[in-house]
Structure 1
Amino acid sequence: MSAARISQRISAIAESATLAVDAKAKALKAAGRPVIGFGAGEPDFPTPGYIVQAAIEAASQPKYHRYSPAGGLPELKQAIADKTFRDSGYKAEASQVLVTNGGKQAVYNTFATLLDPGDEVIVPTPFWTTYPEAIRLGGGVPVEVFAGPDQGYLATVDQLEAALTERTKILLFVSPSNPTGAVYSPEQVKEIGQWAASKGLWVVTDEIYEHLTYDGVPFTSIATAVPELGDKVVILNGVAKTYAMTGWRVGWMIGPADVIKAATNLQSHATSNVSNIPQVAALAAVSGPLTAVDEMKVAFDRRRKAIVAGLNAIDGVDCPTPKGAFYVYADVRALLGKEFPSANGPVRPATSAELAALILDEVEVAVVPGEAFGPSGYLRLSYALGDDDLATGVARLQDFLGKAK
């Protein structure tokens, strides 16, 4: 019998649904079609000029043309530690920081370093599409805990307790959330963190949207709020969202020194150092002011209110108002099974995946279906795009979805 061409481990990994939707939208745009893309979580703003200038100057310095330490430039690691203390009150040493090729590598490194085969990770759901795949690649088992719109997409301690088994090793905690924009209150963060500490669990917390909260809602780092977690917490973060640097590919993980050393060993064989020029750009970003994100937040807040109002004006769509990040997570279960017109005759989409495909084909609006983040019946839309595109896209959705019978 011939061996399979592709390993089972890699064959089991699904393509990133958000990137797939974004790629399809961009391909259609390149072909001249007027597609509006709500798919990718990517600010439409340019990277601030002082950050770009730092990269330009670094590119001319021969020392940055060479290999650098696999774990990151020492000055950037120290700056990340300083920035973390400044923004969330969590004290870490430079030796506890690993600079990674974007936030995704930080996610993968963390789970690959902490998990043994069969270890379980509690994953509050809806989840960012990459988490379960990274957990599986690390040999772990994602255990989904679904919190629906009736509870603001916020999981409770009772739900987490019900998911706990003797194989549970890690609680994944994300606030503000991608894909829902939900933000846990300081009281909820503390309650969940204390529960995890009482069970002896690791907590992996993704804080990449820490600066994007609205309506006076505070960001609370579980690592700071619950010192009882001790050295069983890993913080994931990066410059992509705060500084409009998605394409620069600089993220990081912060954790106990032994975990960071092991993850650095892994990275030394996988990719070695992050490109030096983006590292210098990231140094300028994390060492500088938060003026840029404050300016972006004004636009995001305006768009947030506009998209929520526009979607809730559609019969059969229920869109809670998010308190963070730059996504809305619309409940479209009431539209499934309804009849919609199409170029090929009436269609009755049974799933949100079918509905999203129909929307793209019929009105050239790209949204990501709930299947990418958990159960079917929902659509994620990013409002990190221009105001005019947002208004046009919502108007197309109102017109098309309003035809449901």
Structure 2
Amino acid sequence: MKKCSDFVLNMDESVTLAAANRAKELKSEGRDIIDLTLGQPDFPTPENIGKVAIESIQNGKASYYTQAGGLPELKKAVQNYFASFYNYEIETNQVLITSGAKFGLYAFFQSVLDPGDEVIIPAPYWVSYVDQVKMAKGNPIIVQATQENHFKITVDQLDAVMSDKTKVLLLNSPSNPTGMIYSEEELRTLGNWAVEHDLLILADDIYCHLIYGDEKFTPISSLSEEIKKRTIVINGASKTYAMTGWRIGFAVGDEEIIAAMTKFASQTTSNPTAISQYATIEALNGDKTQVEFMRKTFESRLNTIYPLLSEIPGFEVIKPNGAFYLFPKVKKAMEMKGFTDVTAFTTALLEDTGVALVTGAGFGSSENVRLSYSSDLTSLKEAVQRIHSWMNSSNQSTGSSN
């Protein structure tokens, strides 16, 4: 008897989690590993947030099921957050609290896609978009953004893939894995294109507060009433507030779609964790001193590591202004070390140097690797030095495989 479905057997594992797991295995064997795989802030959750979580346990509020769509108090906090940060008003029936932003994305696809519906996904893309669309029996349509164009897609590219089955345009700015940010003008052009073709827009804004230099974050949903009407925003607490393990996200948009997503959540997760919801109320409403300190620290790391990474032979990298990733093109480095496959290159790098990066293959890019600088600066400098030395060593890697 076959125990598992064809669907699950054919599903790709998350490359980020696979890389992180391999790094942990090698660490457990006593290897000196520098793990730059996960997009996880290396800071504790701010104290004021943790204090509220503890209080919710002590006063008994965290002991019970909440509404499937989230605590009314947290929905109100999201409502206020949109008024202050997104600069437009929403109603609480336009808000769904989810068990992580990742589940919010999944609930969206399950709630709006019929079999064969197409979702346009710019590449490089976050690793789970494609498989989540497939889980909903949709068809992911990949549009390749080039490093030469700063990983941004154009309307001409969208016109080339548009069909009568296209239903959703997905945009992630700032981007995982590239750190790229679309400008207001670029977003307006893309948003108006979606309006013209009567498409939904899925805006993954999870990195919206991690912005550096002179760049600014523009919510596509704020650009016009017509664009806002068809945009579902996915956001959450994980990256901004160092709350990756708390698993709280939120979806905001059209009340009919939010109601459908809430119904789906009621049959899957029942409700997000109560303790985490109370903590997120404080995250949205409370003091932001530590949040700004973390943002400035990430920016300092970027400014330090970027020029060092740029000096590595065979690494071609553009400087991003958001998130906490660098996504260098390593085609020349692969050739120098005798590789034709970026995953094999990344694996050899880990085995030979102890530096764990993530292959670009899982992000839809066969010539890039992702490095997370959400780690301490000492480790980052050491990692870059190890890679530099490895690239300067004899061309053929001990782990080389074509």
TM range (shorter): over 0.9
RMSD: 1.2
2-structure distance, mates of 1:255, 1:26: 39
Q: Which of 382, 386, 397 does residue 396 from structure 1 map onto?
A: 386
Aligned length: 395
Shift of 1:20: 1.3
Gaps of 5+ in 1: 340-347
Does 1:335 pair with 2:325? no
Partner of 1:160: 158
Q: Which of 358, 366, 375 does residue 348 from structure 2 map onto?
A: 358
**Structure 1 stretch 302-311 or stretch 276-285: which is displaced more?**
302-311
Superposition pairs of residues 215-234 of structure 1, within 5 angstroms: 215-234=213-232
Q: Which of 351, 357, 364 does residue 374 from structure 1 map onto?
A: 364
1-structure distance, mates of 2:388, 2:228: 49
| Counterpart residue type for residue 393 of structure 1 | A
Mapped contact 1:211–1:293 kept (Cα < 8 A) = no
Shift of 1:230: 4.5
Q: Which of 286, 290, 296 does residue 284 from structure 2 map onto?
A: 286
1-structure distance, mates of 2:304, 2:392: 18
| Counterpart residue type for residue 163 of structure 2 | T
**Structure 1 stretch 382-391 or stretch 24-33: which is displaced more?**
24-33
2-structure distance, mates of 1:226, 1:369: 38
1:350–1:404 distance in 2 versus 1, CA, 3 Å: farther
2-structure distance, mates of 1:331, 1:251: 31
Matched position secondary structure for 1:253:
strand
Partner of 2:400: none
2-structure distance, mates of 1:38, 1:210: 21
| Counterpart residue type for residue 194 of structure 1 | N
Matched position secondary structure for 2:328:
strand
Q: Which of 56, 69, 86 does residue 58 from structure 1 map onto?
A: 56
**Structure 1 stretch 312-321 or stretch 62-71: which is displaced more?**
62-71
Shift of 1:85: 1.9
Matched position secondary structure for 2:335:
coil
1:230–1:247 distance in 2 versus 1, CA, 3 Å: closer
Partner of 1:99: 97
Partner of 2:263: 265
2-structure distance, mates of 1:130, 1:303: 27
In the superposition, the TM-score normalised over structure 2's length comes to 0.96
2-structure distance, mates of 1:223, 1:316: 39
2-structure distance, mates of 1:32, 1:97: 46
Mapped contact 1:79–1:286 kept (Cα < 8 A) = yes
| Counterpart residue type for residue 269 of structure 2 | T
Q: Deviations over 1:320-349 (max 9, x none)?
A: 00011000110001122333xxxxxxxx22
Matched position secondary structure for 1:252:
strand
2-structure distance, mates of 1:90, 1:62: 35
2-structure distance, mates of 1:205, 1:90: 16
2-structure distance, mates of 1:356, 1:207: 28
1-structure distance, mates of 2:303, 2:158: 31
Matched position secondary structure for 2:180:
coil
2-structure distance, mates of 1:55, 1:115: 36
Q: Deviations over 1:167-209 (max 9, x none)?
A: 1000001100000000011110111111111110100000111
Partner of 1:200: 198
Flag as ranges the 4+ runs of structure 1 deviating above 4 A. none
Matched position secondary structure for 1:262:
helix
Shift of 1:235: 0.3
Partner of 1:342: none
| Counterpart residue type for residue 163 of structure 1 | V
Partner of 1:73: 71
2-structure distance, mates of 1:335, 1:256: 46
In the superposition, the TM-score normalised over structure 1's length comes to 0.95
**Structure 1 stretch 253-262 or stretch 172-181: which is displaced more?**
253-262
Does 1:26 pair with 2:16? no
Partner of 2:398: none
2-structure distance, mates of 1:18, 1:220: 27
1-structure distance, mates of 2:206, 2:287: 17
Shift of 1:33: 1.7
Q: Deviations over 1:257-307 (max 9, x none)?
A: 111111111111111111100110111001123322211122111111222
2-structure distance, mates of 1:391, 1:83: 37
2-structure distance, mates of 1:230, 1:255: 8
2-structure distance, mates of 1:43, 1:230: 31
Partner of 1:115: 113
Shift of 1:231: 2.5
Matched position secondary structure for 2:143:
strand
1-structure distance, mates of 2:222, 2:6: 39
2-structure distance, mates of 1:220, 1:65: 38
